[in-house]
């Protein structure tokens, strides 16, 4: 698609002159391919990628709806649509504007869908958003199936762009986008971050198939479980985080607005458990106390979980959270080696982590910890330190991922100085397979330590006992069976199959 060199005469997007009046907008989370669903990471995709709705596009839809626009949402991934089925539905709906969201590892899915749509409906206007394009706009816009890129927070940028296209005005006036013009990629000024999040309408969850989002198998006995976001941005400087979408400036919804949304999830959608999926729920004692006070004042009875920081949480605050309905806290640990923690700029100590995990366990908050292996300065010894540290903590669950230098994260600029990049294929950037091998390690050794981490943590009587104490009803048993099946399929069967395949090749 070629850009117009004279914006005063036409839009830089071919066919966008048909986007007039009140355009219809379809926002879509692209489908997962058959190869991805049935490949080695199929169990991970099935159990971990589809446990909560795409709130980013739901927030955009909520704002567009509030302005009287015709908008639909499609989560083709959770619906189980094939790329062909997704295309058929888009053709039948005939939207004027198609918005696609994408992370780095599923960028190829967005490209595949974008190309198919453009071939079938050449006049449609396509807009790409999400974390990947926010840090890699020029590279993403090299794909001619995308007419515009929405960079950073998408709500007001999308609204502005849709209104501009409807009025057939020059999109160069829209902040926070990229598009082709005069043979090159033109990027407008970055749109300021939304200062007052309370101005945003709630995400349009009613446009999504909420019954199809299934909580992780070890994610608690209180169902239905729903996700919500109470803040955006993070001021901390961890080198593995990409802040391209929400930035480093911390902004929070007000406590009344947060509890308004909690009430809506309970009364309208029947939620029994709410997962706060913010990058940083606990930025301060004061903020958390304000939310707790609002929950108590309204008498809301709902279970909830959140991520905490070990250097902010206190036993007193955790006890207040427990009384207000919190049943689990998640702790971003990342490493059990203090030198690694310092290098990745985590700004916590092992003793702070140990103390908060102990307090959470004592209070019955079933602490879960997040670890990563394969940091730039990682060695076999430091990974073993993490394994030993995790086993020494009174944790109920862990999530361990393989460090993945994402475009836009600070470590992306330096990681090649500390080891070897073994894949430039964005599909591999899943956090579940190595794309970077630190010096002194091999791919085989890193994968072996990754498996060892999970198996040596979970295959212990104490972990079985901790989970048995969480059983509430017979229906919990299939959920735990699913968790065991995932553990077996990902870390035992995969290894056996690999060994068998290698022996057959010999």
222 with 177, same domain?
no
Q: Which of 145, 65, 136 is nearest to 109 (CA)?
A: 145
For the packed helices 285-298 and 255-267, what is the interaxial angle rounded to 10 degrees? Answer: 50
Q: Which of 215, 217, 245 is nearest to 227 (CA)?
A: 215
- pLDDT tens, 158-190? 999 999 999 999 999 999 999 999 889 999 999
463 with 483, same domain?
no
42 with 21, same domain?
yes
- Structural domain range at position 74: 16-187
Contact 491, 432 (CB under 8 A): no
Residue 320, burial from CB neighbour count under 10 angstroms (0-12, 13-18, 19+)? middle
* Separation CA 435–CA 421 (nearest Å): 6
DSSP reduced 3-state for 476: helix
- The number of folded domains in the chain is 3
Structural domain contains residue 7: no
458 with 502, same domain?
no
CA 191 to chain centre: 22
Residue 79, burial from CB neighbour count under 10 angstroms (0-12, 13-18, 19+)? middle
126 with 263, same domain?
no
Bridge partner residues of 129 (DSSP): 101
CATH number at residue 453: 3.20.20.70
394 with 486, same domain?
no
427 with 367, same domain?
yes
What is residue 242's predicted lDDT score, i.e. its pLDDT? 87
Structural domain contains residue 425: yes
Contact 112, 133 (CB under 8 A): no
151, two tokens: 């960079």
DSSP character for 145? T
CATH number at residue 102: 3.40.50.280
* Separation CA 98–CA 16 (nearest Å): 12
Helix intervals (H) in 6-82: 34-38, 42-48, 55-66, 76-79
b/e string for 240-255 if b means 16 or more Cβ within 10 A? bbbbbbbbeebebbeb
For the chain, 506 residues long, give each residue's pLDDT as a single digit of tens.
333 333 333 334 433 334 556 899 999 999 999 899 888 888 778 777 788 999 999 999 999 999 999 999 999 999 999 999 999 999 999 999 999 999 999 999 999 999 999 999 999 999 999 999 998 999 999 999 999 999 999 999 999 999 999 999 999 999 999 999 988 999 999 999 999 999 999 999 999 999 999 887 777 788 899 999 999 999 999 999 988 788 889 999 999 999 999 999 999 999 999 999 998 999 999 999 999 999 999 999 999 999 999 999 999 999 999 999 999 999 999 999 999 999 999 999 999 999 999 999 999 999 999 999 999 999 999 999 999 999 999 999 999 999 999 988 999 999 999 999 999 999 999 999 999 999 999 999 999 999 999 999 999 999 989 888 887 777 666 666 666 666 666 666 544 343 333 333 33
183, two tokens: 């043979």
286 with 166, same domain?
no
459 with 482, same domain?
no
What is residue 472's predicted lDDT score, i.e. its pLDDT? 72
Structural domain contains residue 152: yes
What does pTM read for this prediction?
Answer: 0.90
296 with 435, same domain?
yes
User: For a pLDDT cut of 70, what percent of the chain falls above it?
Assistant: 90
Residue 437, burial from CB neighbour count under 10 angstroms (0-12, 13-18, 19+)? buried
Structural domain contains residue 192: no
Structural domain contains residue 417: yes
Structural domain contains residue 8: no
What is residue 503's predicted lDDT score, i.e. its pLDDT? 35
178 with 321, same domain?
no
What is residue 500's predicted lDDT score, i.e. its pLDDT? 30
Structural domain contains residue 275: yes
What is residue 205's predicted lDDT score, i.e. its pLDDT? 98
Structural domain contains residue 457: yes
Half-sphere exposure of 329 (CA within 13 A, CB side): 34
287 with 367, same domain?
yes
What is residue 486's predicted lDDT score, i.e. its pLDDT? 63
């Amino acid at each position: 698609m070629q850009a117009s060199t004279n914006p005063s005469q036409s839009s830089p997007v071919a066919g966008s002159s048909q986007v007039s009046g009140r355009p219809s907008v379809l926002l879509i989370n692209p489908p997962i391919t058959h190869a991805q669903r049935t490949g080695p990471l199929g169990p991970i995709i099935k159990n971990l990628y589809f446990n909560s709705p795409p709130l980013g596009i739901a927030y955009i839809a909520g704002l567009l709806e509030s302005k009287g626009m015709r908008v639909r949402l499609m989560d083709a991934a959770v619906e189980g649509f094939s790329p062909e089925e997704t295309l058929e539905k888009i053709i039948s709906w005939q939207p004027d504007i198609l918005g696609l969201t994408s992370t780095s590892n599923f960028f190829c899915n967005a490209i595949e869908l974008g190309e198919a749509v453009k071939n079938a409906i050449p006049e449609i206007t396509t807009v790409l958003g999400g974390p990947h394009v926010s840090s890699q706009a020029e590279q993403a816009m090299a794909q001619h199936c995308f007419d515009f890129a929405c960079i950073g927070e998408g709500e007001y940028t999308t609204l502005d762009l849709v209104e501009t296209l409807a009025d057939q005005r020059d999109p160069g006036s829209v902040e926070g986008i990229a598009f082709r013009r005069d043979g090159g990629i033109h990027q407008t000024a970055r749109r300021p971050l939304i200062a007052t999040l309370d101005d945003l309408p709630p995400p349009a969850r009613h446009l999504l198939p909420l019954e199809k989002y299934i909580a992780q198998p070890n994610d608690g006995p209180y169902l239905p479980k729903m996700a919500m976001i109470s803040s955006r941005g993070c001021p901390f400087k961890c080198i593995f985080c990409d802040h391209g979408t929400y930035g480093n400036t911390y902004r929070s919804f007000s406590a009344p607005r947060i509890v308004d949304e909690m009430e809506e999830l309970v009364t309208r959608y029947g939620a029994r458990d709410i997962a706060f999926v913010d990058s940083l729920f606990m930025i301060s004692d004061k903020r958390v106390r304000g939310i707790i006070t609002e929950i108590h004042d309204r008498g809301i009875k709902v279970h909830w979980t959140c991520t905490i920081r070990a250097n902010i949480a206190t036993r007193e605050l955790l006890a207040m959270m427990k009384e207000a309905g919190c049943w689990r806290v998640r702790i971003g640990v990342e490493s059990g080696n203090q030198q690694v923690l310092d290098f990745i700029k985590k700004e916590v100590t092992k003793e702070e982590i140990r103390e908060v995990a102990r307090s959470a366990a004592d209070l019955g908050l079933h602490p879960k910890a997040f670890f990563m292996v394969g940091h730039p300065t990682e060695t076999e010894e430091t990974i073993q330190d993490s394994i030993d540290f995790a086993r020494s903590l009174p944790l109920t669950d862990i999530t361990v991922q393989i460090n993945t230098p994402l475009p836009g994260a600070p470590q992306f600029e330096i990681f090649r100085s500390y080891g070897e990049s073994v894949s430039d294929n964005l599909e591999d950037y899943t956090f579940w397979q190595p794309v970077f091998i630190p010096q002194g390690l091999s791919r085989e050794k890193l994968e072996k330590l990754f498996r060892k981490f999970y198996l040596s943590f979970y295959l212990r009587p104490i972990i079985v006992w901790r989970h048995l104490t969480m059983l509430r009803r017979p229906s919990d048993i299939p959920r735990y069976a699913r968790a065991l099946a995932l553990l077996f399929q990902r870390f035992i069967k995969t290894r056996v199959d690999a060994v068998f395949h290698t022996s057959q090749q010999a």
